[in-house]
Structure 1
Amino acid sequence: MLTVFAFLLAIGVLVTFHELGHYWVAKLCGVRVLRFSIGFGSPLFRFKPRETEWVICPIPLGGYVKMLDEREGYVDPEERSRAFNNQHVLKRIAIVAAGPLANLLLAVLLYWGVIAQGVPQLKPLIGTVVAQTPAAAAGFRDGDRVVSVAGRAVSSWQEIRLALVDAAMSGDVISVRVQNASGAAAERRIDAARFGDKAVQALQQGDPGFSPARFLPAVGVVEPGGVAAKAGLKPGDKLLSVGGQPLPSWEAWVQLVRNSPGKDLQIRIERDGKPMQLSLRPQAVRQDDEMVGRIGVAPLPDAAWNDKLSFMVHYGVFGALQQAAVKTGDTAWMSLKFLGNMLIGHASLNNLSGPLTIANVAGQTAREGLTPYLEFLALISISIGILNLLPIPVLDGGHLMYYVAELVRGKPVSERAQMLGQKIGFILLASLMAFAMLNDFSRLFGG
Structure 2
Amino acid sequence: MNLLIEIVAFAVAIGVLVVVHEYGHYGVARLCGVKVLRFSIGFGRPLLRWVGKKSGTEWAVCALPLGGYVKMLDERDPGPGIAPADLPFAFNRQHVAKRIAIVLAGPVANFVLAILLFAVVFATGVMEPVATLATPAPDTVAARAGFEGGETVVAIGDEHGSETEPVRSWSDLRWKLLDAAFDHRRVVMRAHDGHGTGTYDFRVDLSRVSEQDVSDDFMAKLGFDEGGALAVAGVEPNSAAERAGLAAGDVLRAVDGKRIDGADAFIAYVKSHSGRPIVLQVERGGAAPNLLALTTTPVAERDAHSGHTIGRIGAALATKVATVDVRYGPIDSVARGARRTWEIGIYSLRMFGRMLTGEASIKNLSGPVTIADYAGKSARLGWVPFLSFLALVSISLGVLNLLPIPVLDGGHLLYYLVEAATGKAVSERWQLVLQRAGLVCIVALSAIALFNDLARLIHF
Q: Would the TM-score normalized by the shorter structure come out above 0.5?
A: yes
Do structure 1's residue 415 and structure 2's residue 415 form an aligned pair?
A: no
Over 3 Å counting, the alpha-carbon distance change for 1:36 and 1:320 in structure 2 is: same
Over 3 Å counting, the alpha-carbon distance change for 1:36 and 1:221 in structure 2 is: farther
Structure 2 portions without partners, runs of 5+: 237-246, 281-293, 307-314
CA distance in 2 between partners of 1:70 and 1:342 (Å):
39
CA distance in 2 between partners of 1:343 and 1:221 (Å):
53
CA distance in 2 between partners of 1:48 and 1:4 (Å):
29
CA distance in 2 between partners of 1:183 and 1:328 (Å):
35
Q: Note if contact 2:133-2:149 (Cα within 8 Å) is conserved in structure 1.
A: yes
Residue from 167, 172, 176 that aligns with 2:180: 167
Over 3 Å counting, the alpha-carbon distance change for 1:351 and 1:387 in structure 2 is: same
Q: Counterpart amino acid of 1:16?
A: V
Residue correspondence of structure 1 range 28-427 to structure 2 within 5 A: 28-50=31-53, 51-73=56-78, 74-127=81-134, 129=136, 134-136=141-143, 139-146=146-153, 147-148=155-156, 151=159, 153-156=164-167, 157-170=170-183, 172=184, 174-179=186-191, 181=193, 182-183=197-198, 185-189=200-204, 199-202=213-216, 204=218, 208-216=222-230, 218-219=232-233, 236=248, 248-253=260-265, 256=268, 277=299, 279=301, 281=303, 299-302=317-320, 306=322, 309-315=323-329, 317-427=330-440
Q: Write the deviation string for residues 297-331 of structure 1: whole angstroms up to 9, x where unpaired.
A: 984132xx51xx5244331x333223322222232
Deviation, 1:89, is: 1.1
Q: Counterpart amino acid of 2:60?
A: V
> After the TM superposition, which of the residue ranges 197-206 and 179-188 deviates more from structure 2?
197-206
Partner of 1:445: 458
CA distance in 2 between partners of 1:348 and 1:267 (Å):
48
CA distance in 2 between partners of 1:184 and 1:401 (Å):
52
Q: Note if contact 1:392-1:425 (Cα within 8 Å) is conserved in structure 2.
A: yes
CA distance in 1 between partners of 2:394 and 2:77 (Å):
30
Higher-Rg structure is: 2
Deviation, 1:39, is: 1.1
Q: Counterpart amino acid of 1:11?
A: I
Partner of 2:8: 5
Q: Note if contact 1:15-1:62 (Cα within 8 Å) is conserved in structure 2.
A: yes
Deviation, 1:29, is: 1.5
Deviation, 1:128, is: 5.3
Identity of aligned residues (%): 41
Deviation, 1:98, is: 0.7
CA distance in 1 between partners of 2:235 and 2:50 (Å):
52
Q: Note if contact 1:103-1:382 (Cα within 8 Å) is conserved in structure 2.
A: yes
CA distance in 2 between partners of 1:221 and 1:175 (Å):
43
Over 3 Å counting, the alpha-carbon distance change for 1:21 and 1:205 in structure 2 is: farther
Over 3 Å counting, the alpha-carbon distance change for 1:143 and 1:268 in structure 2 is: same
Q: Note if contact 2:126-2:384 (Cα within 8 Å) is conserved in structure 1.
A: no
Deviation, 1:217, is: 5.6
Deviation, 1:213, is: 3.8
Deviation, 1:209, is: 3.3
CA distance in 2 between partners of 1:396 and 1:114 (Å):
29
Q: Note if contact 1:149-1:160 (Cα within 8 Å) is conserved in structure 2.
A: no
Over 3 Å counting, the alpha-carbon distance change for 1:298 and 1:72 in structure 2 is: farther
CA distance in 1 between partners of 2:213 and 2:261 (Å):
23
Q: Counterpart amino acid of 1:93?
A: I
Structure 1 length as normaliser, TM-score? 0.78
Q: Counterpart amino acid of 1:20?
A: Y
CA distance in 1 between partners of 2:182 and 2:123 (Å):
31
Structure 2 length as normaliser, TM-score? 0.76
CA distance in 2 between partners of 1:3 and 1:283 (Å):
37
CA distance in 2 between partners of 1:76 and 1:266 (Å):
95
CA distance in 2 between partners of 1:368 and 1:251 (Å):
26
Q: Counterpart amino acid of 1:426?
A: L
Q: Counterpart amino acid of 2:350?
A: K
Q: Note if contact 2:135-2:261 (Cα within 8 Å) is conserved in structure 1.
A: no
Deviation, 1:396, is: 0.3
Over 3 Å counting, the alpha-carbon distance change for 1:200 and 1:88 in structure 2 is: closer
Equivalent pairs, count? 410
CA distance in 2 between partners of 1:298 and 1:56 (Å):
53
Over 3 Å counting, the alpha-carbon distance change for 1:39 and 1:95 in structure 2 is: same
Q: Note if contact 1:110-1:378 (Cα within 8 Å) is conserved in structure 2.
A: yes
> After the TM superposition, which of the residue ranges 402-411 and 318-327 deviates more from structure 2?
318-327
Deviation, 1:129, is: 3.7
CA distance in 2 between partners of 1:133 and 1:255 (Å):
22
Deviation, 1:337, is: 2.9
Partner of 1:231: none
Partner of 1:293: none
Indicate the RMSD between aligned Cα atoms, in angstroms: 3.9
Over 3 Å counting, the alpha-carbon distance change for 1:267 and 1:100 in structure 2 is: farther
CA distance in 2 between partners of 1:57 and 1:419 (Å):
27
Local SS of the residue matching 2:45: coil
Q: Note if contact 1:124-1:154 (Cα within 8 Å) is conserved in structure 2.
A: no
Over 3 Å counting, the alpha-carbon distance change for 1:119 and 1:435 in structure 2 is: same
CA distance in 1 between partners of 2:267 and 2:12 (Å):
41
Q: Note if contact 2:134-2:261 (Cα within 8 Å) is conserved in structure 1.
A: no
